[in-house]
Structure 1
Amino acid sequence: MKLAVFDFDSTLMDGETLDIIARETNFADKISDITAKGMRGEIDFFESLQMRVSLLKGIKLETVNEICSSLPIMNGAKETIDELHKKGYKCVCFSGGFKNATVLFAQKLNLDAEFANIFHVKDNVLTGKVGGEMMFSDSKGNMLLTLQKLLDVSYDDTLVVGDGANDLSMFKHAKNRAAFCAKEVLKKEANIIIDKKDLRLILDNV
């Protein structure tokens, strides 16, 4: 068995979920700026996540779910997942974003599993608080180690794909490390670099 782990925002999905949801607020520019700094590794991921989600307080859950249901799939994502399955890979998504989106994408792309965060909601309205499986800068790396042990998959049989600083922790534990339209901080640790928005180009390297 082999394992392929994909980031969600700007990897399986063409955009940043929080930035798109933020258009419903008066803080869209501020949230986008925090996202960019976090992706470059200039702000701790946990801190950036908390700051951004706090600015979404008051948005209706229904609105969030409507937005997540129409997020754009990255060019080539479905074909890449299908081909990796044929090659014997289990395909998983690790997202510092939210299950409101990743659960839907797991169904659309036929992913084997997804791990993400959860908006805290009260009376069907976002409270500005967040919890979940991917809260910290080392969360993806820790979860990858767990899956490798659970599935008995080796370092050599692991592919990881991401675009930002919070993907660094999982790059440590995979032989094939693809930086997809990525920030420089991640490209430095990659041995596969894709600068065109087409996930199928990864298939040339696995």
Structure 2
Amino acid sequence: MISPLPEMTIVSPVHRYILTLLSQQLRTEFLTKLFRHLRERQLHITAVSPLDAEDLQVFEIKIHVDQSIDRQQLMQELLELKSEFQLDFSFQSDDLFRRNKRLIFLDADMTFIQCEMINDMSRLAGKETEIAEITNRAMDGEINFKEALRQVVALLEGVRLSDLEHLILNISYTPGVERLVYILKTLGYQIGIVSDGFTRIIDHIKQRFDVDYAFANTLEVKNGELTGRILGEILDGHQKMCYPSGSCSQRKYSSRTSYCSR
């Protein structure tokens, strides 16, 4: 006689994620706001671990949740905290593919470099107040990014290319970024930079660090000065996510073996 199998409780699969934080100083106030937000989203923190990063503070937070998370939505929600506390973060699934990344894309401003280049360029043009007002209107949703960028670039008309190149040569890079690039390339990674800034800056970084890919907006230059116009299609937040996907296809990588940080 065969005994019936005991009833089994069906357990919902647990989705596992890793949230990585990087800053010169991760303040208690930030961590309090972050943990509160994660708790409100019913994201369960199972471990918080510090990572070695020389002069930077880096924490890896393990998160479990019953339902799959919209990664882009959560990153968008955390952008306000990123701006307020001057830090960088990444959010990715904690699965086998996380250990098998082969293509990494980084943002430029406040990630690869320690500044917002448009602020420095506005000083060259003597238009700091006007450009700050446009930026604030865009952040408040009064105008979209593309229109804001067109207005900002128009105010840069007349900036001398020689002054811009001098500014580029004095970029302040994020501490440890040179070592990071060296280690990643030694391990066989392809590295890209994608920015809604400008190619004059991004191409310099690409050459300086021997980066594999670089995408940004192109400023028109005539007679050694900026004309106040952008050449070609404007690269905005949506396009920034499309370029890594295109590079994955070009290199025959799966999107699951690529990683983007913003």
TM-score of the superposed pair, with normalisation by structure 2: 0.56
Pairing partner for 2:148 from 48, 55, 67: 48
Aligned to 1:88: 188
Tell me whether 1:101 sits opposite 2:205 in the alignment: no
- In the TM superposition, 1:124-143 aligns within 5 A as 124-132=224-232, 135-143=235-243
- Displacement of 1:137 in angstroms is 3.0
Indicate the residue corresponding to 1:150 in structure 2.
250
- Matching of residues 1-206 of structure 1 within 5 Å: 2-35=102-135, 38=138, 40=139, 42=141, 43-132=143-232, 135-162=235-262
Q: Is the 8 A contact 1:49 1:135 kept in 2?
A: no
CA distance in 2, matches of 1:20, 1:104: 16
Tell me, yes or no, if the aligned pair for 2:109 and 2:116 is still in contact at 8 Å. yes
State the one-letter code of the partner of 1:11. T
1:109-129 deviation line (CA, Å, top 9, x unaligned): 221121112111122111110
Q: Which of the pair has more CA radius of gyration?
A: 2
- Rounded to whole Å, the distance in 1 between the matches of 2:253 and 2:234 is 21
**CA RMSD, Structure 1 to Structure 2 (Å):** 2.0
For 2:55, the equivalent position in structure 1 comes to none
Tell me the CA shift for residue 132 of structure 1: 4.6
Count of paired positions: 161
Q: TM-score, normalized by length of structure 1?
A: 0.70
User: Is the 2:125–2:158 Cα contact (8 Å) retained in structure 1?
Assistant: no
Alpha-carbon deviation of 1:44?
2.2
For residues 132 and 69 of structure 1, do their structure 2 counterparts lie closer, same or farther at Cα, with a shift above 3 Å needed? farther
Distance in 2 between the 1:36 and 1:110 partners?
34
Distance 1:133 1:114, change over 3 A: farther
Gaps of 5+ in 2: 1-100
2:194 aligned counterpart, secondary structure: strand
Alpha-carbon distance in structure 2 between the residues aligned to 1:129 and 1:136: 16
Q: Deviation of residue 74 (structure 1)?
A: 1.2
In structure 1, distance between residues paired with 2:205 and 2:260: 18
Percent sequence identity over aligned pairs: 24
Tell me the distance in 2 between the aligned counterparts of 1:92 and 1:6: 6
**1: CA distance between counterparts of 2:257 and 2:234?**
23
Assess, with a 3 A threshold, how the Cα gap between structure 1 residues 53 and 72 changes in structure 2: closer, same or farther: same
In 1, are the aligned partners of 2:202 and 2:216 still within 8 Å (CA)?
yes
**Larger relative contact order (Cα-Cα within 8 Å, sequence gap ≥ 6):** 1
* Native 8 Å contact 2:105 2:193 kept in 1: yes
| d(CA) in 1 for partners of 2:197, 2:119 | 11
Unaligned 5+ residue runs, structure 1? 163-206
Are the equivalent residues in 2 in contact too, given 1:119–1:126 (CA < 8 A)? yes
